[in-house]
Amino acid sequence: MKVILREDIDHVGKMGELVTVADGYARNFLLPRQMVAAATEKNVRVLEHQKRLIETKRKKERAAADEVAKRLAGIPVTIPMQVGEEDKLFGSVTSKDIADALAAADFIVDKRMILLDKPIKTLGTFSIPVKLASDVTGEVKVSVVRQDAA
């Protein structure tokens, strides 16, 4: 089924593109959530006009995401944890812990946006990528310290 994307969808395409997807995927998932519009002749004609509007919106979102990435780099995140012998943590630091620490610094980020390969299990300073937009990734410096030292 040919559809016009109303927003960026991972592994499908970017907003404003005319793509072909499986009929069931379009009918059962994309259309009910209003993520796409059916590619009728009228909608295709309207798409040509809206591509300019979409491009302007995309540039604004990119500029806003770049600004957020700059702000994010300046926020120090310190997470105190209990440690045992050889500075190994009791438990681990997950993306939820990092999102909570950022929220405490008045910077709201969804935990799914934090690209943590595996949980942090040692003390130290780590550079963690945060996906802010489809093509913008910022970094946050996370320091894991002893709980009694914090």
**4-14 pLDDT per residue, tens:** 898 888 899 98
Residue 97: Cβ within 10 Å count: 21
**Sheet order of strands, 124-133 included:** 77-81, 136-146, 124-133
**Which amino acid, one-letter code, is at 121?**
K
CB 63 within 8 A of CB 97: no
Residue 27 · residue 38 · CB < 8 Å: no
Task: Say yes or no to pLDDT of 114 above 70.
Answer: yes
Rg value, the chain, Cα: 21
* Cα distance between residue 18 and residue 2, in whole Å: 7
Backbone φ, ψ for residue 36 (5° rounding): -140, 165
Question: Span 2-67: which CATH code?
Answer: 3.40.5.10
Would you place residue 25 in the very low, low, confident or very high pLDDT band (cuts 50, 70, 90)? Answer: very high
103-110 average pLDDT score? 88
pTM of the model: 0.64
DSSP result, 108-122:
---GGGB--SS-EEE
In a 3-state reduction of DSSP, which class is residue 31?
coil
| Domain covering 71-146 in this structure, CATH number | 3.10.430.100
Q: What is residue 150's three-state secondary structure? A: coil
Average pLDDT, integer, range 20-31: 93
**What is the reported pLDDT for 71?**
87
pLDDT band at 150 (very low <50, low <70, confident <90, very high): very low
Q: Mean per-residue pLDDT for 29-48? A: 88
Domain ranges of the chain: 2-67, 71-146
Mean pLDDT, the chain, rounded, equals 87
